[in-house]
């Protein structure tokens, strides 16, 4: 058996037909991981006790593989009567896993803002909420843009893990073709190339946005 180029080409349309699922899962997971990670980081700053607890939670998440999280959620949630579609379980798993990393990114982004910024804002008479919204948040966003962009690419590259919990994304559909035809090499190679192109494109886009829009102003 050799590598059949014509057959490989025939697997492109069915694999590309589910690219929307892959991108949708990635976008939802990005949003989920950002919200969860940011909440972790804000709560971690709330006081000593929640701080230590959340630091442990974040360390726990960072010390465990994403595959184990997907199995955990997929098999444990139904045991407690929580029946979610596999796709939502996958989004939840990726969100939890990457929230641990994004929390650290937000931590670094907030820590990097000089203390004088909030002191100056308060001295000017801005209240706490205005200080956060108009002074601190814009600076934090600029600080975290680059690493968050990198993690978004990582999330995209983690979406094929969802194949193990039967989400019909690109790797899953490649496996469907493979098991129907007994030709694994072609469809898997195609899905590999598609993912590589997608990841490279998005990584370049992130770099471009970083360069064009988020140039730090001179301090």
Footprint of another protein (CB under 8 A) = 1-3, 59-60, 62-69, 71-72, 75-76, 78-79, 104-105, 108, 147, 150-151, 153-154, 157-161, 163-164, 171, 178, 184-185, 188-189, 191-192, 195-196, 199-200, 203
**DSSP secondary structure letter of residue 125:** T
Nearest distance from residue 106's CB to another protein, in Å? 11
Shorter beta-carbon distance to another protein: residue 121 or 153: 153
For residue 89, give Cα distances in angstroms to 37, 73, 84, 102.
18, 6, 6, 20
Q: Spell out the residues 6+ positions from residue 206 whose beta carbon is closer than 8 angstroms to its own.
A: 146, 149, 150, 152, 153
Nearest distance from residue 33's CB to another protein, in Å? 12
3-state secondary structure of 83: coil
Shorter beta-carbon distance to another protein: residue 51 or 120: 51
Shorter beta-carbon distance to another protein: residue 72 or 139: 72
**DSSP secondary structure letter of residue 219:** -
- 108: buried, middle or exposed (CB in 10 Å: 19+, 13-18, 0-12)? middle
Nearest distance from residue 128's CB to another protein, in Å? 28
Shorter beta-carbon distance to another protein: residue 87 or 161: 161
């Amino acid at each position: 058996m050799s590598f059949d180029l014509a057959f490989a080409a025939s697997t492109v349309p069915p694999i590309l037909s589910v690219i929307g699922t892959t991108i949708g899962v990635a976008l939802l997971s990005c949003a989920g991981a950002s919200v969860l990670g940011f909440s972790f980081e804000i709560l971690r700053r709330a006081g000593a006790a929640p701080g230590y607890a959340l630091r442990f939670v974040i360390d726990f998440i960072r010390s465990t593989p994403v595959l184990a999280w997907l199995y955990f959620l997929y098999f444990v949630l139904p045991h407690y009567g929580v029946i979610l579609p596999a796709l939502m379980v996958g989004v939840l798993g990726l969100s939890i896993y990457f929230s641990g990393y994004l929390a650290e990114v937000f931590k670094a982004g907030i820590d990097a803002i000089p203390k004088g910024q909030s002191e100056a804002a308060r001295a000017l008479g801005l209240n706490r909420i205005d200080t956060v919204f108009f002074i601190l948040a814009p600076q934090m966003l600029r600080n975290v843009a680059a690493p968050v962009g990198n993690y978004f690419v990582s999330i995209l590259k983690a979406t094929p893990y969802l194949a193990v919990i039967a989400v019909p994304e690109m790797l899953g559909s490649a496996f469907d073709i493979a098991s129907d035809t007994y030709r694994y090499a072609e469809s898997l190679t195609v899905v590999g190339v598609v993912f590589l192109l997608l990841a490279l494109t998005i990584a370049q886009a992130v770099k471009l946005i970083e360069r064009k829009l988020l140039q730090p102003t001179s301090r």
